[in-house]
Structure formats: C-alpha cells, structure tokens
Amino acid sequence: MTIVAFAAVALLMLRWLAELLLSERNRRHVLAHAQSVPEAFREFIDPQTYARSVDYTLAKGRFQQFDGTLDFLLLAVVLLTGALPAAYRAWTDALRNSVWSAGGFLFAVGLALALPKLPVDWHEQFRLEARFGFNTTTPRTWWLDRLKGLLLALALGYPLLVLVLKLVTWAGDLWWLWAWGCVLGFQLVMVVLAPVLLLPLFNKFTPLPDGPLRDRLLALATETGFRARSIQVMDGSKRSRHSNAFFTGFGRFRKIVLFDTLISQLADKELAAVLAHEIGHYKKRHIPKMLVWSALSLLGSFYVLSVLARQEWLYRGFGFEPGHIAPAFLLFGLLSGAVTFWFTPLGNLVSRRFEYEADRYAAGFMREAAPLVGALRKLNEKNLSNLTPHPLYSGFYYSHPTLVEREQALRVAPGTT
C-alpha cells in the first residue's frame, strides 16, 4: 500500500485516539462523583438509582470504546490489505462496469462491512440494555428490523445511488450539483412520506385515547397555533423502556407522537410541558434551519467528492485504476467521517442552543418552569442518564444540554417562576 493509504489510516487513528481520550476523561469524571449523590440531584434521585446510572454510564462507555476500536481495525485492515480494489476488479470482471453493477458493488461493500457489527449490536441490545432493564425487544423483532432496513435500502437507496452515478455521465462537470438536487429532493419527499409509509413498518401508531390528557394536549396545540393532524401513541415499549416524544411531517400530514413509555412515566402537566418544548422547536423554526444546514452540508460533500474524484492519486493510492467514479464514492464514504468527526462539537453547539430556546418557550407558555423541570428530572432518572459528564465530553458529543445546565437556564428564563 502507498503513503496515501497509510495517511488515511492515520486520520482514522487520530479519530479513534480522540474518542478513547474523551471516553477516558469522562469515565474518570463520573467515578469522581460516584461515591454519593451530588447535591444538585438529591431532591429527585435515590442513592440506589444514582449508583445504577453510574454503572450504566460506565458500561456504555466500555462498550463504545470496544465498538469504536472494532470500527477502526476493520477499516484499517480493509484499506491496507488491498481487499477493496481486488474485490472491485473481481466484481467488474463478472458483472461489467455499468452504473448498476457499480452501485451494486457499493451496496455490497456496505453490507459486508455491516455484517461483523451484527454480534456487537446484538450484545448491546440483549446483554448491555437487558442488564439494566431497558431491553424489551425479542430476537424475532430485532432480526425483522434489520431485514426491513435492508429491503428499504435496496428499494429506495440503491436506485438513488444508481441515479447519482448516472448523473456523472449525463451532467458532465456539474454532476455534483445535479446529484445534490436529486438527493435533497429525495430527502424532502421522505420527510413527508416516511411518517405515513415507513415508520408504521417498524412501530404501531394509535390515536391517543379520549380523555383529559388528550383534551389538554389538543388545547395546548391549538393555543400555540400548532395545527396537528393527530396526537398518536407509538409502541416504543416494543423495543425499549427508553422514552421520547416528537412530531413528524409537514402541513396537514403533521402529527404529534408520544412514546407509550413516556405517557407511563410522566404526569399530565409534565407531558404538556414536553409537548410545549417540541412545539417550541416548531415555533422557533429550528426544523427549517436544520434542514438548510443539512442541505448546505450535503452540497459541500458532493462538491468535495467531485474534486477528489478527479484526482488520480486517490485511485492509485488505494490500488484502484482511474476511469470510473465508483471507487471515489466508496473511499469518500469510508473516510469522510474521519474529517467530519472534528466538526461534531459545532453541530452539537447549535443543537444545544436550539434546546435552550425550546425550553424557554415551553416554560414561558406554561408560565412556570416546574412542569418541564419535573419532566426532565424523571426522564434523566428513568433513562439512567449520565448526570455528571465531563464538560469536554458533553461539549463534544451531547446534542442536548445536561440536566444541570437546563435547570440553570430555566431559573433565569423570562416569564417563569
């Protein structure tokens, strides 16, 4: 292998080392606060539950270290042994070098790299999550989820990939701009259609039953000007005891979704505060802003890919012969994460700012912060969240502020008590 391949593996190693260092710093910080419940949390969490949250955090940290190490080693072996160009030559010799075969090769490589991770994912679900009482899925459901995901990727992702590869021939030097438009259009269509057609393939959605909770939440939605087609309950407990709430779709297809686990964990007023927080994201236009950010990132990615695809050193550096763009797509997909990883804190910084804004909106609408604070405390307790992450670790990885940070911000939010 050439210096190009070794440089790529060095980039992957830098990311791996950074992940290990961040994880180790977080581990030590959690252990430093593990002897007793910190004063900020004594009001709502007992010592036994806090000890379990520490154990869960440490166990997840060890698992993530193993998972990250496996990812690094797998990619390093694939890149340094020449397995990819050898497989590509064998594939094209057998199936010729059409866009359909090239797309099939990219799909097959993705599938091959995912297979060694199946035992790891299984262990996470049926050992780690089960050990702390979160797993409720069955082996049958677990395998069906992966089969459905594979079939959807074949039905939707594979034709889109072939179209993008074909645009390289059809659109000339500006193929990357046309490809961006096609992929962006596909993503926007999926935002509308996925809640209607795809999500029900994995979960059951039922209308929230008539009663005081439904009346309260619909009144809240009406008062905030958030028009939703319905409030639905998702059977999240089919797979896990973790809980969540979200809204999906646009226009008349918009609907509010509550996990059944969330309904069982929170009081009605706390559920209303959670819904007000989600509506806060809508009122503050966070979703369109994130879509614009995603679109610009996608545009930048396609442009960088188009530049790299013209570089002969990229192909030869990994043992490929120049002449077809598929290897450039493959290498970009495998290696881009080693670069974008370092921009993770920037994206999470924006996300945390949005969370603060949604919290302030919810507290202001409810005219008090107590219901939202109560909901956040219960969610952190029930999910055994890490209550004492290292600031560098949370700043790098967390898309949401920590519980302490959110409570501090809510204390000074205008219009709340």
Report pLDDT digits (tens) over 198-208: 889 999 989 88
Q: How many Cα atoms sit within 13 Å of 389 on the Cβ side?
A: 24
Please check whether residue 61 lies inside any domain of the structure. Answer: yes
Contact 47, 387 (CB under 8 A): no
| Per-residue CA distances from 335 to 9, 176, 338 (Å) | 9, 19, 6
Closest of 295, 276, 294, 309 to residue 376, by C-alpha? 276
- pLDDT at residue 158 greater than cutoff 80: yes
Whose tokens are 């919290």? That residue is 359
Q: What is the mean pLDDT of residues 93-100?
A: 89
Query: pLDDT value at position 290?
Result: 92
Number of domains in the chain: 1
Q: What phi and psi values does residue 402 have, to the nearest 5 degrees? A: -70, 165
Instruction: Give percent of the chain above pLDDT 90.
Output: 77
Q: 359, 368, 405, 407: which is the annotated catalytic residue? A: 359
Q: What phi and psi values does residue 138 have, to the nearest 5 degrees? A: -110, 160
Order of strands across the sheet that contains 255-259: 205-207, 230-234, 255-259, 245-248
Paired tokens of 265: 């964990």
The chain-wide mean pLDDT, for the chain, equals 92
- pLDDT at residue 415 greater than cutoff 60: no
- pLDDT at residue 352 greater than cutoff 90: yes
Please state whether beta strands 230-234 and 255-259 pair in parallel, antiparallel, or not at all (unpaired).
parallel
What is the helix (H) or strand (E) element at residue 414, kind and residue range? none
Range of the domain at 98: 3-133+144-171+303-346
Paired tokens of 253: 């297809």
Contact 368, 416 (CB under 8 A): yes
Task: Identify the residue with better confidence: 288 or 55.
Answer: 55
pLDDT tens-digit readout, 115-146: 999 999 999 999 999 999 999 999 999 999 99
CB neighbourhood size of 88 (10 A): 22
Q: What is the mean pLDDT of residues 151-170?
A: 95
Please check whether residue 112 lies inside any domain of the structure. Answer: yes
Contact 178, 303 (CB under 8 A): no
List the beta bridge partners of residue 231.
Answer: 256
pLDDT tens-digit readout, 10-68: 999 999 999 999 999 999 999 999 999 999 999 999 999 999 999 999 999 999 999 99
Q: How confident is the model at residue 347 (pLDDT cuts 50, 70, 90)?
A: very high
Query: pLDDT value at position 417?
Result: 46
Please check whether residue 276 lies inside any domain of the structure. Answer: no
In the residue annotation, 46 being an active-site residue is answered as no
pLDDT tens-digit readout, 198-241: 889 999 989 888 888 888 888 888 888 887 767 889 998 889 98
Rounded CA separation 372/411 (Å)? 11
Task: Identify the residue with better confidence: 51 or 194.
Answer: 51
Q: What is the mean pLDDT of residues 308-329?
A: 93
Q: 124, 278, 355, 381: which is the annotated catalytic residue? A: 278
Q: Where do runs of H (alpha helix) occur along 266-402?
A: 268-283, 286-308, 312-317, 326-340, 344-366, 370-382, 391-397
pLDDT tens-digit readout, 361-410: 999 999 999 999 999 999 999 999 999 999 999 999 999 999 999 999 99
CB neighbourhood size of 205 (10 A): 14
Taking each helix axis from N to C end, the angle separating 3-32 and 326-340, rounded to the nearest 10 degrees, works out to 30
In the residue annotation, 19 being an active-site residue is answered as no
Please check whether residue 7 lies inside any domain of the structure. Answer: yes
Long-range pairs of 100-107 with CB within 8 A, sequence gap ≥ 24: 100/162, 102/165, 102/324, 102/325, 102/326, 103/158, 103/161, 103/162, 103/165, 103/326, 104/158, 105/326, 105/330, 106/161, 106/326, 106/329, 106/330, 106/333, 107/153, 107/154, 107/157, 107/158, 107/161
